[in-house]
Amino acid sequence: MIDIIPPLHLSDESLNKLFSYRLSRIREVMRLKQVSVLILTSPVSLRYAVNFDEYQLFQSHIPTCYLFLSLEGPIQLHGATGRKFPNVTHYQGSDFLTPFDGGLDLSTNTQHLISNLQAFSQQLNEPLESVGLERMSPQVSQRLTDKAIQVYDAEPIIEQAKLIKCELEIDCLKHSIQVAQYGMQLMYQALRPGITENQLWSIMHQVNAAHGGDWIEGNMLASGPRTNPWLQEASHRIIEKGDMVAFDTDMIGPLGYIADISRSWICGGGKGNQAQRDAYRHAYDEVHHNMQLIKPGISFRELSEQAFIRKAEYRDNRYVCSFHGAGLSDEYPKIYYQEDWARSGYDGLVQENMVLCVESYSGIKGGSVGVKLEEMVRVTSKGITPLTDFPFEDELLKDSYP
């Protein structure tokens, strides 16, 4: 059995403030976009809106439950077992808009949902003219359009709402990070020749579950030659002495907040070989250079343009982005490298009280060594405050053999 670090104790008053803040953020954006009602299905959106926390991974691929959220007035949750969710005014059964729940022909259930939405809209202070939908059957969009109701994508509304964190959210993020870094400490202690990647990674899962966390987005741990290229998930490979071991926590922890941290270690410790040290130094320098660029008012494009100039040998094997948002999960924005900007980049402004992850993957294309490093920071009026503080490997930052 593992020890448990102290939980984050939030009073009922603090929890109510947290949930009210998140709801107010959603409604602020709804008002800006002139959307009357949202119908939400994503477990992350449901968690943000009403702290829904039932069977979240199941909900992510079979969205049995959904939420009617009005701009002003009632909030109605469909399909939930519990009756404890903040700011929910009404509970009803689900009309089952998935083939698993409702069969292969969803036309009748879709009509039931539209009828329930119309009944719900009668409680509003104005006619139902616009609805934001999140990942629902296209039949729902078609039925609403047939009734001359404007249909919007709800997902950008929720992402914009989640962008700015209140102080209580920062406290929740810090606690999830504390739990993840405790798991990392136990992994560090357990790392020895003969352990498999899966065995090592399971420690993080156990720590998260023991602290009431939700899930881990991927099994992002690799060792030795499997560290290059990146995004190879954990396997039964036996870790050997001298292997580089790299991982990315992607942990959705207590109260649903993410801890997104990456580190790379040498099994058995020490300075490693020259290729390992070179890759580690490159990743370390990239993360720390890019952290210092962040400030309120800088644009996403400027961050991309001013980002660390990667050495030529590491460019082809770059990570998918250099910065991204974080909160209940990975969030908007995703800020791309200049090489990818023309195809995928989009602009915006960094704002105070956003939380950003700063990432680097450094591995030569076709090589056998890769290093993954990542830090989380809070944007402040003067720049950033780091949220993560797990130590780096000083030995790997040295330039010469012992």
**What pLDDT is stored for residue 149 in this prediction?**
93
Asked whether the predicted pLDDT for residue 164 surpasses 60, the reply is yes
351 has a pLDDT exceeding 50: yes
CA dist 1 to 8, 38, 141, 182, 206, Å?
A: 21, 43, 50, 14, 9
Do 167-397 and 12-162 have the same topology in CATH? Answer: no
CATH 3.90.230.10 fits 167-397, yes or no: yes
What is the distance between the alpha carbons of residues 260 and 387, in angstroms, rounded to a whole number? Answer: 11
Instruction: Please report the pLDDT score of residue 400 as a whole number.
Output: 39
- Residue 381 pLDDT > 70: yes
Closest CA to 220 of 195, 245, 188: 245
Predicted confidence at residue 153, as pLDDT, reads 97
- Which CATH number among 2.60.40.10, 3.40.350.10, 3.30.930.10, 3.30.1360.70 corresponds to the domain 12-162? 3.40.350.10
What residue ranges do the domains of the chain occupy?
12-162, 167-397
Q: pLDDT tens for residues 217-264?
A: 999 999 999 999 999 999 999 999 999 999 999 999 999 999 999 999
148-161 mean pLDDT:
96
pLDDT over 80 at 399, yes or no: no
> 3-state SS string over the chain?
CCCCCCCCCCCHHHHHHHHHHHHHHHHHHHHHHCCCEEEECCHHHHHHHHCCCCCHHHHHHCCCCEEEEECCCCEEEECCCCCCCCCCCEEECCCCCCHHHHCCCCHHHHHHHHHHHHHHHCCCCCCCCEEEECCCCHHHHHHHHHCCCEEEEHHHHHHHHHCCCCHHHHHHHHHHHHHHHHHHHHHHHHCCCCCEHHHHHHHHHHHHHHCCCCEECCCCEEEHHHHCCCCCCCCCCECCCCCEEEEECCEECHHHCEECCEEEEECCCCCCCHHHHHHHHHHHHHHHHHHCCCCCCCEHHHHHHHCCCCCHHHHCCCCCCCEEEECCCEEEEEECCHHHHHHHCCCCECCCCCEEEEEEEECCCCCCCCEEEEEEEEEECCEEEECCCCCCCHHHHCCCCC
CB atoms within 10 A of CB 228: 24
pLDDT in the model for residue 1: 78
Q: What are phi and psi of 400, to 5 degrees?
A: -130, 160
pLDDT in tens, 287-320: 999 999 999 999 999 999 999 999 999 999 999 9
Contact 72, 124 (CB under 8 A): yes
Place 343 in a pLDDT band, splitting at 50, 70 and 90. Answer: very high
Q: Measure Cα distances from 323 to 99, 308, 351, 392 in Å.
A: 37, 12, 14, 19
User: Other C-beta atoms within 10 Å of 93: how many?
Assistant: 10
Mean pLDDT of 353-357: 98
Query: Do 370 and 221 contact (CB within 8 A), yes or no?
Result: no
Q: Are 252 and 214 in contact (CB under 8 A)?
A: yes
pLDDT per residue as tens digits for the range 257-283? 999 999 999 999 999 999 999 999 999
Q: What is the pLDDT of residues 94-145, one digit of tens each?
A: 999 999 999 999 999 999 999 999 999 998 878 899 999 999 999 999 999 9
